[in-house]
A and B are shown apart, each in its own frame.
Chain A
Amino acid sequence: MKPPDLRDQLRYAYDPQFRGFHNLMAWRVRTILMVSNPYESFSISRDYSLTQDIYGTSQLLHLQNVPQIATALSGAEGLDIVAREHFDLVLVSSNLPDMDTADFARQVKASQPGLPVVMVVFDGSWFDQTYHGVEPEGIDRTFAWRGSADVLLSIMKLVEDSQNVDRDLAQASIGTILVIEDAVGHYSLVLPHLYSMLMQRTFMLVPEGINESDRQVRTRVRPKVLLARTFGEARTLFDKYAASLLGIISDLHTFHDERVDPDAGPKFLREIAAREPGIPILVHSSYPDAGAVARSVGARCLNKRGLDLRLGIERFVLEDIGFGDFEFRMPDGTRVGRVANLWEMEKALPSIPEASFLFHVQRNDFSHWFRARGEITLAAVLRPLTVEDFPSVDALKAYLTDAIAIARRERYRGAIADFRPPEFDPDYPFLVVGRGSLGGKGRGLAFMFRQLSRWFKDDGLHGVTVRLPYTLIIGADESDSFLRDHAIGVTSLHGLADDEILRRFAGCDLAPRLRECLEHYASRVSFPLAVRSSGLLEDSHSQPLAGLYATYMLPNNHPELEVRVSQLATAVKLVYASAYLERPRRYLEGIGQDLGEARMAVIIQEVVGRRHGRYFYPVISGVAQSHNHYPVFQMKPEDGVATIALGLGKQVVEGGDALRFSPRYPQVLPQFRSPAEVMRVSQRQFFALDLERSQADLLAGTDATLARLPLSQAEADGTLVLAGSVVAADEDRIYDGLGRQGSRVVTFARVLKHDLFPLCPILHDLLEACRRDLGFAVEIEFAADFAAGQPGRPEFYLLQMRPLVAMRERCDIAAGSIPPDKLLCRSGRALGNGRIEGLKDIVYVDRARFDRSRSAEVARVVADINERLTREQRRYVLIGPGRWGSFDSWIGIPVAWHQISGARVIVEVPAMDLPIEPSQGTHFFHNLTSAGIGYFSLSGSDEEELLRWELLESLPGEEAAPAVRHVRLTRPLTVRIDGQTQQGVISLP
């Protein structure tokens, strides 16, 4: 057969909602009624301290619920209780004082047909001889009480399994184990061993690295145990569950139609060995011919009367069914390797000798082993394949290795795991070490990590893999411990300068356990790392602290592990320290927050990008917001906005030259209106991680490992060709791509215009999904790296997600609430968001007296006022006719940006004789948006809008030049803009 495409087969096998695990084992035994005579009740309950025993066993087996047990000391009492209360299971003694057990059971069934009734006997052989393996009507199962709680738990589990098996199999590819045994005494002995083994091993194997609560959920993939009392029953079960069957434990001779049929067992086993070769079988029999029969079907044999029952079952479960380590053996039995998990298997396979590999392939050992680990789909894909299906053994090996890699990745999607050093799989995408909050950023990341796999089931969007970089979060409690251990507090840091604080933190040791974790991490990951803060207050809904704390980038490539770990530990400590530096400290004081709340989690994240010689960076980094406060042209606020740059995201988040656009209209780039403008506003340099600074002194600052590089470096690296265009000065035009001489500019034309990479559809879908699931506007940071014409799927990385704080606080702009004499201006085309207060200065150009031919002179006067106010550190409201910052002195006041840099709010009103479109989209406008300046535009045709010139004229001030006035108020005015409705008002105090 042709080997199937692994991706198709495995992609959907790991549904991210914990693969539906929450829905498994829906039916549980929570309440049990035990009906017995007083003596048995006493024997069971007291002598064996049942409750305590059950609780202990439950703990041992990682059970999530301990059943409540009610007792009745007679059949009548039992029936009475059943009639009144709800039970999930009735256990009934074979010796009731007042009625026949079978009568009792029939009456229970008559009143509640679905309630399972299990008869408990003290002597199994009595039952076998009395009933010949067939329970009387009304009794579902019979078990022999063996004096410990594990039998009771087996009864519960068996009942639960029989209730859940069909539903669970329909939902997930879980396995089944068929036990064929008619002797009550034997299966009452075998099943507790089997369940105990399965539950403990399942818990251990549930994927390496998953966190505790998820592990609990995932134990629900434990194989179901099916008990058949006869081979007829076994055949029925086999026919129904063959596809999920992991193994069979079988007696050789059972009661069949009330007589022992000596051939039934061998015949059945041979039949299934032929139908499903390779299914592990344990023949469990005391008959002398058992060994021969077992050999004939390739089964292991265990003597029923032997003393090694428990050990035998354990070996069968671990070695044959595959719950243990995988031992690679040569055909002669020589051991040539051993692996404990999928990651080790993937790494080991290439070096396993061909003979050993083939030996295990022929025995279907791989598929058994996968199946036991819950890797049912992987097992199912591999099982029918033979070496003949591949051109070579190596091809089969590669296929298998690939299959494991895909399965591992699929399994990890959307699951946050605890970092456990010994079994740490570096391919695990999202890990948490230590306890405590993940911090604001961490929370956002964790949420996105989970949501991504829900939103995009096929791994990505538009042919691009969308994922988070590999992430390890250090819980916030670690920062508490660090501060406590080293007696660092607000008071102890009082009066220290920033560099002293940093040195103080750097000089302290991390807790040994944390450092050990970091060492394990650094020893296994080889990519560069970004170490970021994730403060408890940071990025939270109400506190915009983004960008206040530090991020360190580490090459993580020093040949000595100790150096790498030391850099990583120092970065973590310096990130802790960054909360106590002057800027965040002042900010927190300013907003009335306790610095004691500045504790933080730390995010250690893979740096996205690829190596280019000594530098490392991605092609695209950027920030996107689902709400655009400054929509222009056909854009709507909800279309969102993105800003991107070549290289590391520092260029964007720190406000460097970058490209702003709406993902909905990627070709609408007003700032690129001419080649000269492109030269002026487009990116000139980019940031990269310098891989040769693996020992940089991080105390020198967060830039210690970074390089700011010219575009010529990107051209030499082959990255500019993906993002660049050429300005041909000779022709006054821009050519996309770099295929000619001229000035290199970053336009991302090949991405935004020519769809070299589907950035816009990805951003559009992501922002849409964020907004839908969060219910409010968000900002994401992202990076993408790709190379034209190279094989492999390009990747888009989501680096951060935070709520857009400002958007949470919609500004109340109810103009009606402002007394009419205080309302100065109202516009339905206001851009920005929020409340602007503290402004006492207004500079305005009276449009009635404004002479357009003298606009250059007006510009100079305004610039002079601006310079004076800026010197005095006074921000102001600027009002004037026409377009501020226009290159054409006929249509507005031709100021340069720096000449009105102190304006906090700008109001454009139409000139008396010329309707003028607002400044939208100019470079001037670009500055406006990036500086967060409030912008009011009055169209002259909207009845709702208003600017009260007469009020302005009445305010005290000076006439700086004809038509230019500077007004100073004694109390500040208030500006309010609702970013969602674009309504804005300015009111006087």
Chain B
Amino acid sequence: MSTKAYVDQVFETVKKRNAGEPEFLQAVTEVLRSITAALDRHPEYVESRLLERVVEPERVVMFRVPWQDDQGKAQVNRGFRVQFSSAIGPYKGGIRFHPTVNLGILKFLAFEQVFKNSLTTLPMGGGKGGSDFDPKGKSDGEVMRFCQSFMTELFRHISSDTDVPAGDIGVGGREVGYMFGQYKRISNEFTGVLTGKGLAWGGSLIRPEATGYGCVYFCQEMLKTRGEDFKGKTCLVSGSGNVAQYTVEKLNELGAKAITLSDSDGTIYDRDGIDAEKLAWVMDLKNNRRGRIREYVAQYPEAEYLHGRSPWHIPAQCAFPSATQNEINGEDAKALLNNGCYVVGEGANMPTTLDGVEHFRAAGILYGPGKAANAGGVATSGLEMAQNSMRLSWSREEVDGRLKGIMASIHKAAYETSKEYGAAGDYVIGANIAGFVKVADAMLAQGLV
């Protein structure tokens, strides 16, 4: 049977088994399609029916979450934890509280998480959990009571060595705090059972910076493959939130010159570069005054404000889409390439359309897909776990140093894999396969479990 026929057959089985879970089915399709090359190269995966095993979660827990609202009325929600794969480490993945949460969506998210975590090269398995509880419009008290009830059941299925949930949509620092408190209370132990904790009680530094820093580190590694570094390079950065700000900060540190930032209204273009002082001003503008990026030109009149424009038509060597989904389409990609851009690091999630991605890949530039380039956020979760296990809190520099190391490892894994699969420098192929292969190999090694 050909690989394709095998994949189709597996997919048909998955479809039958998981009818009514379109999100999960789509994720399985995408993953299976992206790893056909790995299957060709590793017939043992096929022979040991690894695909059938990898698409089935190891364990799914579904439970009742009763709680009392502020009016004293009983409310009941449904809680889930999908423990998808512990092949390379304890289950790791966020908890989502949102009314649309159902088993299909959580399976889809947990499945993707398996490979995302694997790509970080850290020992983290994949999982996801949540509830159809909507924290929006709920009082602090209601959220707390819900979180406590949720954890009262979940606590028996997780631990720092079994499953380490984190936050996700609807679960921020507040919810993590409430859940951690309840876990600690009923298990009578203070362990790193959740990540995303407060700094004073087990959280890690560098979380806001991680994605931006990590993306730059990844691109730095890509440049190294060509014997280059960031010194003197002009960079386009879109967005002006955390990712964009810390991208610019790290670029400045590494000797590059970031010349743009943007928001939904338009782009500022500063030919002289957004240096540390200007960046500090932007950070105050965005984080404290929460103003619009156009105010930059009032402060720095030598800069230009391009209303309604994105940065991609401006000549530069590097581009860091750090704002939102689909912000670079085919035309933008062509404009970038025409202007000599040859490094693209995706700080945002899926910022480039499929059309755009194809242009980048076809041009053979250093294109770091978000899956790999923005894994810094996921990596800090792993670093938080490590610190918790060691009963240590690392300094900012230590965390940053380890983040740099992790991004280098991710790059190495993706790059080596791309080379191995005959597409040297195609990080899309590299990232897709590297994440899968690590999990698959571990599963094979651990036998039929």
Q: Which of B178-222 contact A (CB under 8 A)?
A: 196-199, 203, 205, 207-208
| B335-379 interface code vs A (CB 8 A; 1 in, 0 out) | 000000000000000000000000000000000000000000000
A856 close to chain B: CB less than 8 A: yes
CB within 8 A of A668: which of B138, B197, B205, B290?
Answer: B138
Knowing A670-B136, A731-B198, A888-B100, say if A860 contacts B326 (CB, 8 Å): yes
**List of A residues within 8 angstroms of B418 by Cβ:** none
B48 close to chain A: CB less than 8 A: no
Q: How far is the CA of A17 from the CA of B26 in the complex (A)?
A: 73
Expressed in whole angstroms, the minimum distance between the Cβ of A428 and any Cβ of chain B is 43
B287 close to chain A: CB less than 8 A: yes
B66 close to chain A: CB less than 8 A: no
**List of A residues within 8 angstroms of B290 by Cβ:** 679-680, 684, 743
Check B170 against A673 for contact (C-beta < 8 Å). Answer: yes
Knowing A674-B172, A732-B167, say if A667 contacts B139 (CB, 8 Å): yes
A673, A753, A890, A917, most chain B CB atoms within 10 A: A673
Expressed in whole angstroms, the minimum distance between the Cβ of B113 and any Cβ of chain A is 16
Expressed in whole angstroms, the minimum distance between the Cβ of A688 and any Cβ of chain B is 16
Check B203 against A731 for contact (C-beta < 8 Å). Answer: yes
A734 close to chain B: CB less than 8 A: yes
Expressed in whole angstroms, the minimum distance between the Cβ of B241 and any Cβ of chain A is 8
Expressed in whole angstroms, the minimum distance between the Cβ of A741 and any Cβ of chain B is 11
**List of A residues within 8 angstroms of B326 by Cβ:** 856, 860
When C-beta atoms are compared, the residue in chain A nearest to B289 turns out to be: A710
A896 close to chain B: CB less than 8 A: yes
Q: How far is the CA of A432 from the CA of B177 in the complex (A)?
A: 58
Expressed in whole angstroms, the minimum distance between the Cβ of B309 and any Cβ of chain A is 14
| A854-865 interface code vs B (CB 8 A; 1 in, 0 out) | 001000100000
By the criterion of a CB under 8 Å from any partner CB, how many residues of chain A are at the interface? 46
B435 close to chain A: CB less than 8 A: no
Knowing A860-B326, A917-B99, say if A712 contacts B288 (CB, 8 Å): yes
| B118-147 interface code vs A (CB 8 A; 1 in, 0 out) | 000000000000000011111111000000
B264 close to chain A: CB less than 8 A: yes
Q: What's the count of A-B pairs with C-beta under 8 Å?
A: 99
Expressed in whole angstroms, the minimum distance between the Cβ of B280 and any Cβ of chain A is 15
**List of A residues within 8 angstroms of B98 by Cβ:** 888
Check B291 against A684 for contact (C-beta < 8 Å). Answer: yes
| B142-177 interface code vs A (CB 8 A; 1 in, 0 out) | 000000000000000000000000010110111001
Check B100 against A896 for contact (C-beta < 8 Å). Answer: no
A632 close to chain B: CB less than 8 A: yes
B70 close to chain A: CB less than 8 A: yes
CB within 8 A of B173: which of A669, A728, A889?
Answer: A728
Check A734 against B70 for contact (C-beta < 8 Å). Answer: no
Check A898 against B264 for contact (C-beta < 8 Å). Answer: yes
Expressed in whole angstroms, the minimum distance between the Cβ of B133 and any Cβ of chain A is 12
| B260-291 interface code vs A (CB 8 A; 1 in, 0 out) | 00001000000000000000000000011111
Q: How far is the CA of A621 from the CA of B174 in the complex (A)?
A: 29
Q: How far is the CA of A155 from the CA of B59 in the complex (A)?
A: 103
CB within 8 A of B137: which of A668, A734, A753?
Answer: A668
Knowing A853-B26, A890-B105, say if A744 contacts B288 (CB, 8 Å): yes
**List of B residues within 8 angstroms of A944 by Cβ:** none
Q: Which of A703-739 contact B (CB under 8 A)?
A: 710-712, 728-734
Check A730 against B203 for contact (C-beta < 8 Å). Answer: yes
| B318-329 interface code vs A (CB 8 A; 1 in, 0 out) | 000000011000
When C-beta atoms are compared, the residue in chain B nearest to A657 turns out to be: B290
Q: How far is the CA of A597 from the CA of B198 in the complex (A)?
A: 63
Check A711 against B289 for contact (C-beta < 8 Å). Answer: yes
**List of A residues within 8 angstroms of B141 by Cβ:** 667
Check B208 against A729 for contact (C-beta < 8 Å). Answer: yes
**List of B residues within 8 angstroms of A764 by Cβ:** none
Check A667 against B140 for contact (C-beta < 8 Å). Answer: yes
Q: How far is the CA of A922 from the CA of B170 in the complex (A)?
A: 13
CB within 8 A of B22: which of A673, A852, A894, A921?
Answer: A852
B23 close to chain A: CB less than 8 A: yes
**List of A residues within 8 angstroms of B325 by Cβ:** 856, 889, 894
Check A668 against B139 for contact (C-beta < 8 Å). Answer: yes
Knowing A913-B22, A916-B100, say if A675 contacts B172 (CB, 8 Å): yes
Q: How far is the CA of A891 from the CA of B167 in the complex (A)?
A: 20
Check A667 against B70 for contact (C-beta < 8 Å). Answer: yes
**List of A residues within 8 angstroms of B197 by Cβ:** 731
When C-beta atoms are compared, the residue in chain B nearest to A685 turns out to be: B289
A260 close to chain B: CB less than 8 A: no
B85 close to chain A: CB less than 8 A: no
**List of A residues within 8 angstroms of B169 by Cβ:** 887-888
**List of A residues within 8 angstroms of B173 by Cβ:** 675, 728, 731-733
Q: How far is the CA of A670 from the CA of B172 in the complex (A)?
A: 15
B417 close to chain A: CB less than 8 A: no
A633 close to chain B: CB less than 8 A: yes
Q: How far is the CA of A887 from the CA of B198 in the complex (A)?
A: 26
Check B199 against A731 for contact (C-beta < 8 Å). Answer: yes
A274 close to chain B: CB less than 8 A: no
B86 close to chain A: CB less than 8 A: no
Q: How far is the CA of A887 from the CA of B264 in the complex (A)?
A: 15
A914 close to chain B: CB less than 8 A: yes
B234 close to chain A: CB less than 8 A: no
Q: Which of A841-883 contact B (CB under 8 A)?
A: 852-853, 856, 860
Expressed in whole angstroms, the minimum distance between the Cβ of A542 and any Cβ of chain B is 35
Q: How far is the CA of A678 from the CA of B177 in the complex (A)?
A: 19
Knowing A675-B172, A914-B100, say if A743 contacts B287 (CB, 8 Å): yes
B242 close to chain A: CB less than 8 A: yes
Q: How far is the CA of A669 from the CA of B140 in the complex (A)?
A: 10
Check B288 against A743 for contact (C-beta < 8 Å). Answer: yes
**List of A residues within 8 angstroms of B71 by Cβ:** 634
Check A732 against B100 for contact (C-beta < 8 Å). Answer: no
**List of A residues within 8 angstroms of B172 by Cβ:** 674-675, 732-733
Q: How far is the CA of A632 from the CA of B169 in the complex (A)?
A: 21
**List of B residues within 8 angstroms of A674 by Cβ:** 170, 172
Expressed in whole angstroms, the minimum distance between the Cβ of B52 and any Cβ of chain A is 24
Knowing A674-B172, A684-B289, A890-B105, say if A730 contacts B205 (CB, 8 Å): yes
**List of A residues within 8 angstroms of B20 by Cβ:** 913
Check B205 against A890 for contact (C-beta < 8 Å). Answer: no
Expressed in whole angstroms, the minimum distance between the Cβ of A634 and any Cβ of chain B is 8
Q: How far is the CA of A733 from the CA of B199 in the complex (A)?
A: 11
Q: Which of A623-672 contact B (CB under 8 A)?
A: 632-634, 667-670
Q: How far is the CA of A890 from the CA of B135 in the complex (A)?
A: 19
Check B100 against A669 for contact (C-beta < 8 Å). Answer: no
When C-beta atoms are compared, the residue in chain A nearest to B167 turns out to be: A732
**List of B residues within 8 angstroms of A856 by Cβ:** 325-326
**List of A residues within 8 angstroms of B198 by Cβ:** 728, 731, 733
Check B174 against A733 for contact (C-beta < 8 Å). Answer: yes
When C-beta atoms are compared, the residue in chain B nearest to A860 turns out to be: B326
**List of B residues within 8 angstroms of A732 by Cβ:** 167, 172-173, 196, 207
Check B100 against A891 for contact (C-beta < 8 Å). Answer: yes
Check B136 against A673 for contact (C-beta < 8 Å). Answer: yes
Q: How far is the CA of A920 from the CA of B137 in the complex (A)?
A: 9
**List of A residues within 8 angstroms of B26 by Cβ:** 853
**List of B residues within 8 angstroms of A920 by Cβ:** 137
Expressed in whole angstroms, the minimum distance between the Cβ of B405 and any Cβ of chain A is 21
**List of B residues within 8 angstroms of A685 by Cβ:** 289
**List of B residues within 8 angstroms of A753 by Cβ:** 139-140
CB within 8 A of A673: which of B135, B167, B264?
Answer: B135
Check A711 against B288 for contact (C-beta < 8 Å). Answer: yes
| B59-70 interface code vs A (CB 8 A; 1 in, 0 out) | 000000000001
Sample of 6 A–B contacts (CB below 8 Å): A632-B137, A730-B205, A732-B167, A888-B169, A890-B100, A916-B100
* Given pairs A675-B172, A917-B100, 17 additional interface contacts (CB within 8 A): A632-B137, A667-B70, A670-B136, A673-B170, A680-B290, A712-B288, A729-B287, A730-B203, A730-B205, A731-B199, A732-B172, A732-B196, A732-B207, A753-B139, A853-B22, A890-B100, A921-B137
Question: 7 closest A-B pairs (Cβ-Cβ)?
Answer: A733-B173, A667-B139, A673-B136, A731-B173, A670-B137, A729-B208, A732-B172
